[in-house]
Amino acid sequence: MPRRLAVLLAAATAAATLAAPAAHAESLDYVALGDSYSAASGVLPPDPAASPLCLRSSRNYPHVLAAETGAHLTDVTCGAAETKHFTTAQYPGVPPQLDAVGADTDLITMTIGGNDSGVFISAILACGSAGILTLGQGSPCRDIHGSSFEDTVRTKTYPALVTALRAVRDKAPDAEVAILGYPWILPATGGCFDRMPIAAGDVPYLRSLQATLNDAVERTAGETGATYVDLSAASEGHDACQAPGVRWIEPVLQGTNPVVVHPNARGEAAMAARTLAVLGLR
């Protein structure tokens, strides 16, 4: 843990011992980066400080985390962000995300990588279309695309993640940097063709692709000195096939959020809780 963050946590603990309510003696300077899983795209209400193009929610996990810790939050998360948008503008009026990061930043969190090369959205669309054509039978997506999606993650997404995390570290060498894995979208087997139009044989195929993406994120964290927040165990049983009130991810059909295959408010709160636990902030 970077020294400044450790000092702030120690001060907060001492303050909590002496007085209530517990509060950080010195507020963490917290910058939230990342894509739609960080922005909580589709979760109401929207963040009034965000560009409408970013579809950022005021109930995303960075806001939950900041409320729990008393951190001073600068939230630049933006739906559809790729690693390149750390250093280049994503939309007019939406500057590079790293513009928000400085040498005195204490804490940085993110989900990123899922949009790179369009690999994950392309896989969801391709497998959904194939599943509809076979009425949910067989493994048409795997049969057509084979290892191509996972190959893209290994050869393109992973090096892009390393470059992005190194750029973060260059701007904030003393910050605690945490990168979250993506919570499970589908169960290990079976699926739910009425809500997620994925053929039964392609459910483990897409699950494997997500595992490969999360592995790339975890390896990037190890290579760049970031903390990996593993959501695989925590999100098991909370995929898009589960009932309302249980699932953390909204399905394509019969869901409650306008942005499908993304975390709902329950999922964002759970992502915040896991991040707080891994970082020792609660």
How far apart, in whole angstroms, are the C-alpha atoms of residue 168 and residue 93? 21
> Region 9-30: what's the mean pLDDT?
53
The class level of CATH for 30-279 reads alpha beta
Q: Tens of pLDDT along 80-100?
A: 999 999 999 999 999 999 999
**Domain range annotation of the chain:** 30-279
How far apart, in whole angstroms, are the C-alpha atoms of residue 205 and residue 146? 9
pLDDT at 4 over 70: no
Q: Which of 244, 241, 242, 238 is nearest to 273 (CA)?
A: 238
Other CB atoms within 10 A of residue 45 CB: 8
Active site residues: 36, 262
Q: Tens of pLDDT along 99-133?
A: 999 999 999 999 999 999 999 899 999 999 999 99
Average pLDDT across the chain, whole number: 92
| Higher-confidence position of 240 and 21 | 240
Write the CB contacts of 135 (distance below 8 Å, at least 6 apart in sequence): 193
pLDDT at 1: 58
Residue 6: which pLDDT band, with cuts at 50, 70 and 90?
A: low
Q: Which segments within the chain are labelled E, that is strand? A: 29-32, 72-75, 107-110, 176-180, 227-229
Residue 26: which pLDDT band, with cuts at 50, 70 and 90?
A: low
Length of the chain: 282
Cα–chain center distance at 180? 5
How far apart, in whole angstroms, are the C-alpha atoms of residue 83 and residue 62? 18
How far apart, in whole angstroms, are the C-alpha atoms of residue 198 and residue 191? 7
pLDDT at 25 over 90: no
Rg of the chain in Å (alpha carbons):
19
What ranges in 24-155 are assigned the alpha helix state H?
A: 36-39, 61-69, 119-133, 140-145, 148-152
Residue 282: which pLDDT band, with cuts at 50, 70 and 90?
A: confident
Q: Tens of pLDDT along 196-254?
A: 999 999 999 999 999 999 999 999 999 999 999 999 999 999 999 999 999 999 999 99
pLDDT at 45: 97
pLDDT at 22: 40
Task: Please name the residue that has the structure tokens 């997404």.
Answer: 157
pLDDT at 24: 45
pLDDT at 23 over 80: no
pLDDT at 277 over 60: yes
Helix count and strand count (H, E) for the chain: 10, 5
Q: Tens of pLDDT along 149-161?
A: 999 999 999 999 9
pLDDT at 8: 54
Q: Which of 210, 215, 207 is nearest to 158 (CA)?
A: 215
In percent, how much of the chain has pLDDT > 90? Answer: 89
pLDDT at 194 over 90: no
For residues 115 and 152, the answer to whether their CB atoms sit within 8 Å is no
Residue 2: which pLDDT band, with cuts at 50, 70 and 90?
A: low
pLDDT at 19: 38
